[in-house]
Structure 1
């Protein structure tokens, strides 16, 4: 059931005015203030963000805004993208809905935003309709979140659609080595069971690639790295001997496990594919 405010806003979706808020040059982030909007509380501002990741910060929210998240390049794969948003711990002042052709579905109520949990949805499920919740004092209300566009093949973590604990196929392992945000050879040192996921402490002996610095170097004289990789709690990961090839995705600065075969199994698989000429990319296995 729509709130009275939503009911009054829906017939006015075509009455959009130009926003005087600040955009970055590549339209990855948006920062605005409800103070510029207060005299037009019945208008719905359109916001367009066209990057794979960025942020939004709406100070003193009043009225509503519609946030359209799209990649900067359109391709057939766009339809398979998912959008993930992570509210800041101080986020408040609004309810966040999914708007698809004027039909609204509650995605994130105001009281849940401070938990900072990641919420994901398919890009075809609609735009974000962010509605200000009436408060006597809006001076301390700020709605803020980070967002990322995620392709199906790079999904990782329990908060993303289709997270699975099933072992990767041979084809998936070879593709993961070429496309993952991080690829590293190493061993498991410790597994901590946290509230919603497992946190795996790893020691890396060979770092092939990392998108961001999720693995920290042990120093100039020590050619090793350490870090933590998260996994869904239901996977039941345990400490084990031997070396693994860790691959996965980086989501909001955190590493999430993808394919992780034992290194000796990866070597066998890689050399077989190399002989057959079916390797999708080259890896230095020396």
Structure 2
């Protein structure tokens, strides 16, 4: 796919579930509520394994888990009704992390057979990682509970540290996405919305495109000649190497399956920081964007201004 068209990635689909009985870690439970979108937690100083209950209050953010030798029970609850896509990505340093989803198994009672109602917690395995995991997503109308357990081996040296990136995005339960639709072009309306609401908006060119097989993403290296907006330092002056005056550099992620290729010319790059990395939303050619913007300004349809 040439990056010369409007582009809008969506997220991955559902997971295949395999059932396993829940294995409980010996040790106590501690409670931790993320009052911020990002929070830091750690296991007890006494070296005992513990299960730490974490309940973030934001729709997206990251949890930094230090001295990670026990387990985290992570509750993702958007607090509002509707269908949501819950996505997770993990970076595990000096330790292996095993991620599963908690699922309730219900047994209905039968008074004739003297069977009482019973609810059992089971684990549905999602992934195991030592290093960087790819993105995993689960869709559903209810809050989910994830269980992240660590396992240390003789080859693991140094301080154990795990970063958990989470994202809860409201979707429509009537939509069913296919791989082809994940890379469809943005409409003019979507482009105008992205221009005003994205975490980054910049004009620049593509230096190169590389592919990360572990995370199943493409990384687009960009030279920015005009930075309109960014919430985080995605595009910045390179520490070394040559660049033109006032030119900034940065990388943007996109799904590998879209087959993005190097395109010549200037583009308007828009997107959001998601699961700890900048992700491309729309990238029209700059000439095409100027045409869309001029028409929108004429019809008074632009809700923001960056002086362009």
Q: TM-score, normalised by structure 2?
A: 0.68
The Cα of 1:266 is off from its aligned counterpart by 1.2
| Other structure's SS at 1:282 match | coil
Correspondence for 2:95? 91
Correspondence for 2:147? 129
Question: Which ranges in structure 2 are unaligned for 5 or more consecutive residues?
Answer: 1-18, 105-120, 172-178
For residues 198-229 of structure 1, give each alpha carbon's deviation from its aligned partner in whole angstroms, at most 9, with x where no partner exists: 32222211101112111113799922212222
The correspondence of residues 40-189 of structure 1 with structure 2, limited to 5 A, is 45-51=52-58, 52-57=60-65, 59=67, 61-62=69-70, 64-70=71-77, 74-76=79-81, 79-92=83-96, 95-101=98-104, 102-109=121-128, 112-122=129-139, 124=142, 126-131=144-149, 142=160, 144-151=162-169, 164-189=182-207
Moved more, 226-235 or 254-263: 226-235
| Other structure's SS at 2:294 match | helix
Moved more, 232-241 or 171-180: 232-241
For residues 142-182 of structure 1, give each alpha carbon's deviation from its aligned partner in whole angstroms, at most 9, with x where no partner exists: 462222324358xxxxxxx9982211111111111111111
Correspondence for 1:227? 250
For residues 31-79 of structure 1, give each alpha carbon's deviation from its aligned partner in whole angstroms, at most 9, with x where no partner exists: 232665849x7xx5533222331214263635x54222346xx4457x5
Q: For residues 202 and 267 of structure 1, do their structure 2 counterparts lie closer, same or farther at Cα, with a shift above 3 Å needed?
A: same
Question: Larger RCO: Structure 1 or Structure 2 (Cα < 8 Å, ≥ 6 residues apart)?
Answer: 2
Correspondence for 1:254? 277
Question: Which ranges in structure 1 are unaligned for 5 or more consecutive residues?
Answer: 10-15, 154-160
On the 8 A contact 1:35/1:60 being kept in 2, the answer is: no
In the aligned structure 2, how far is the partner of 1:27 from the partner of 1:269?
35
Aligned residues: 260
| Other structure's SS at 1:217 match | coil
In the aligned structure 2, how far is the partner of 1:280 from the partner of 1:253?
27
On the 8 A contact 2:92/2:163 being kept in 1, the answer is: yes
1:214 aligns with 2:240: no
Q: For residues 218 and 66 of structure 1, do their structure 2 counterparts lie closer, same or farther at Cα, with a shift above 3 Å needed?
A: closer
Higher strand share: 2
Q: TM-score, normalised by structure 1?
A: 0.72
**C-alpha RMSD of matched pairs (Å):** 3.9
| Other structure's SS at 1:270 match | helix
